[in-house]
Amino acid sequence: MILPETLESALQDNTKLVSIMFANNEIGTIQPIKYLASICKKKNIKFHTDAVQAVGHIKIDVKDLGIDMLSASAHKFNGPKGIGFLYVKKGTNLPAFVHGGAQEKNKRGGTENIASIMGMAKALEINTNNLESNQAKLKNMQKKLIDNILLIEETILTGHPNLRTPGSASFCFKGIEGESILLNLDALGICASSGSACTSGSLDPSHVLLAIGLSHEVAHGSLRITLGVNNTMKDVDYIISVLPPIVKKLRAMSPIWNK
């Protein structure tokens, strides 16, 4: 989590804008946005949050949180791919991003993708209308998954233990590679990842995991599982049943596992 004192020490006299991720896309940690935004407000600095991982999954009141700008992407809440939105608080002065037309209040010229915009709006409406029930379901599955996976020895839960997005679960398994776990899970019909989709083509360990203090060796053993509203407790039970044997098998083959 970003500490308030860390943010304050980073601000300078010429700072005009602060942008902080609402929820991390790899480890799910939710930042104390309201407190961080209030620090900026005291210094008359505009506050933007990348809420791509949070919109449609967490209740967000931009006025209560003190957010000046917020960006979101439709595919994260079951909407069409390739469309998103930017919330801008009234009175915030933004220059035009694309010139040549009066669309989007002279901020972004060009014909709007109406079909995707309407699809995004409907998807967000559906998600927000069912937000509380979806959260309750996801948190129950998430807790059972995390509690059972942590029974595997030398396993680390990455991200905040409680303040994390519903359904997100990320771990590091000492002594083995995350990619090997993924191959074994895929063979059993389980879709997971070893980091963010943005860095899926990289073999380097996650910069997020390194930033929270994990070593390169431990960070290489990362596994990220994200549960959705279409998952069931039966799915969680299946993961719990097959993952420990996979970890045990890979550790038996690992040259760096000494136990």
Question: What's the rounded Cα separation, in Å, for the pair 141 and 225?
Answer: 12
Q: For helices 114-129 and 131-149, what crossing angle results, to 10°?
A: 70
What tokens were used for 48?
């933007």
Report the alpha-carbon distance of residue 224 to residue 214 in Å, rounded: 15
Catalytic positions, written as ranges: 198
DSSP per residue, the chain:
---HHHHHHH--TT--EEEEESB-TTT-BBP-HHHHHHHHHHTT-EEEEE-TTTTTTS---HHHHT-SEEEEEGGGGT--TT-EEEEE-TT-----SB-SS-HHHHTB-S---HHHHHHHHHHHHHHHHTHHHHHHHHHHHHHHHHHHHTTSTTEEE-S-SSSB-TTEEEEEETTS-HHHHHHHHHHTT---BSS-GGGTT--SPPHHHHHTT--HHHHTTEEEEE--TT--HHHHHHHHHHHHHHHHHHHHH-TT---
Given CA atoms 95, 99, 103, 108 in this order, what sign does their dihedral have?
A: negative
